[in-house]
């Protein structure tokens, strides 16, 4: 892995925090064509594009997954998988129930002011395919929506060449209460959710990660529909001091790198000797990794170990990077964590490996990437709800507040605002 010293190479370290989700003109142009085509041609476009990109047998299979296919998936998965999935679902549901917001009201001065929360009516969940199956992502998106009270949850995921979705994904969808599943991927799935087709009704919001085409499509349809976030490649920052076990640090960097060639495995240490030791261990583990080709490209492209001069400088680098995942393999992780303000999920101590957060701990693994943890939060129940402000004003309150309204309306030159209050005053 590349090694940088923050004391002698501050600019190189700073550049790591300058990564952004810059639009790709060529991808945007292609995605715009796809979105407009689906918007105009509906199911015909979905079928043609799915035949072109994913499965040439889509005409005979149809876009929607049948109940029979879902039932058949249960016969394929192992009992161990089903047990693990249900354990994960239980923990995820328990964590997210704590997030439910409550409506509230304040009274006084002749007014009743309240904020009323309500769930979205219909959401669309996108589950990526291709390099791996992601049943855990189904749980992380569907269960918070269910807990929020969303009435309808539709799911789309790209099929394999045989037109099938991984049985693990279908089982996860069924366990999460999803009954509307489509074998559609890419920008065309996002467009279908955003605008609707003959067979797919439009949704209120789209959640879930995807590749660059999915991200571009979500950015493009935002406004016509809500979105959770624009997700970039996955990333981890592991902060390790002298107490950290080298093989565990390397293992967690490997766990991130195997996701994708564009994943960012980053480590922050306090000495050059420790950095070199971790780098050597990564190389050892790479040679034995089943997904070695993918992981190696991630390490070569984005992998870096930063040598920081002090704990404060280390924490400053973390906050500048604003990582999706932050692992603190240090002597006093809780103390260190008090200095962290920018991170999607924070894992304290050597036992709190990111893999637990990805699957079974309970907190959501759909997290802000590419430095957006500076202003964004993990996916949660609130993403599937909205609230309305309710204003109930008495006559006495109107009389008391009217002079202020008149003054502010005149200052802004909005004379009809002033008149609407004056007419009520005169009628009192």
Quick check: is 404 catalytic?
no
Task: Label residue 397 exposed, middle or buried (CB < 10 Å: 0-12, 13-18, 19+).
Answer: middle
Quick check: is 324 catalytic?
yes
pTM to 2 decimal places:
0.92
Helices (H) and strands (E) in the chain, counts: 18, 14
* Per-residue pLDDT of the chain in tens (428 residues, 90 and over written 9): 999 999 999 999 999 988 766 778 999 999 999 999 999 999 999 999 999 998 888 988 999 999 999 999 999 999 999 999 999 999 999 999 999 999 999 999 999 999 999 999 999 999 998 767 899 999 999 999 999 999 999 999 999 999 999 999 999 999 999 989 999 999 999 999 999 999 999 999 999 999 999 999 999 999 999 999 998 889 999 999 999 999 999 999 999 999 989 999 999 999 999 999 999 999 999 999 999 999 999 999 999 999 999 999 999 999 999 999 999 999 999 999 999 999 999 999 999 999 999 999 999 999 999 999 999 999 999 999 999 999 999 999 999 999 999 999 999 999 999 999 999 988 75
> What's the CA gap between 428 and 425, in Å, rounded?
5
DSSP for 401-427 reads HHHHHHHHHHHHT-HHHHHHHHHHHHH
**Residue of 96, 259, 325, 365 marked active site:** 325
What domains appear along the chain, each with residue ranges and CATH number? 2-21+233-362 (3.40.50.1980), 25-227 (3.40.50.1980), 394-427 (no CATH)
Q: How far is CA 234 from the centre of its chain?
A: 10
**Residue of 235, 313, 324, 418 marked active site:** 324
- Token pair listed for 100: 């439910």
């Amino acid at each position: 892995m590349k090694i940088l010293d923050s004391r002698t190479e501050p600019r190189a370290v700073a550049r790591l925090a300058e990564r952004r989700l810059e639009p790709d003109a060529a991808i945007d142009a292609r995605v715009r064509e796809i979105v407009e085509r689906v918007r105009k041609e509906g199911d015909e476009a979905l079928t043609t594009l799915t035949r072109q990109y994913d499965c040439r047998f889509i005409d005979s299979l149809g876009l929607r997954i049948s109940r029979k296919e879902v039932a058949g998936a249960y016969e394929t998965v192992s009992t161990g998988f089903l047990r693990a999935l249900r354990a994960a679902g239980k923990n995820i549901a328990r964590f997210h129930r704590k997030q439910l917001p409550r409506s509230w009201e304040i009274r006084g001065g002749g007014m009743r002011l309240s904020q009323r929360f309500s769930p979205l009516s219909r959401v669309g969940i996108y589950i990526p395919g291709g390099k791996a199956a992601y049943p855990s992502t189904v749980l992380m998106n569907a269960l918070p929506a269910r807990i929020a009270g969303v009435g309808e949850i539709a799911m789309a995921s790209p099929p394999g060449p045989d037109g099938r979705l991984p049985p693990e994904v279908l089982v996860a969808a069924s366990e999460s209460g999803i009954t509307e599943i489509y074998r559609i991927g890419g920008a065309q799935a996002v467009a279908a959710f955003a605008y609707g087709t003959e067979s797919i009704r439009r949704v209120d919001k789209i959640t879930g990660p995807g590749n660059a085409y999915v991200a571009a499509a979500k950015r493009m349809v935002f406004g016509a529909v809500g979105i959770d976030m624009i997700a970039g490649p996955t990333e981890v920052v592991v902060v390790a001091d002298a107490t950290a076990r080298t093989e565990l640090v390397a293992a967690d960097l490997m766990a991130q790198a195997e996701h994708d060639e564009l994943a960012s495995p980053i480590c922050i240490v306090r000495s050059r000797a420790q950095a070199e030791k971790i780098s050597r261990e990564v190389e050892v583990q790479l040679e034995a990794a089943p997904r070695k080709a993918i992981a190696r490209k991630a390490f070569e492209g984005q992998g870096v170990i930063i040598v920081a001069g002090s704990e404060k400088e280390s924490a400053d680098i973390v906050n500048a990077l604003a990582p999706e995942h932050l692992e603190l393999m240090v002597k006093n992780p809780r103390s260190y964590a008090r200095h962290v303000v920018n991170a999607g999920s924070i894992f304290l101590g050597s036992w709190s490996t990111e893999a637990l957060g990805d699957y079974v701990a309970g907190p959501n693994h759909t997290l802000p990437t590419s430095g957006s943890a500076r202003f964004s939060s993990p996916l949660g129940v609130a993403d599937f709800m909205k609230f309305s402000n309710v204003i109930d004003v008495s006559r006495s309150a109107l009389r008391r507040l009217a002079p202020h309204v008149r003054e502010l309306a005149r200052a802004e030159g909005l004379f009809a605002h002033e008149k609407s209050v004056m007419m009520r005053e005169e009628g009192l």
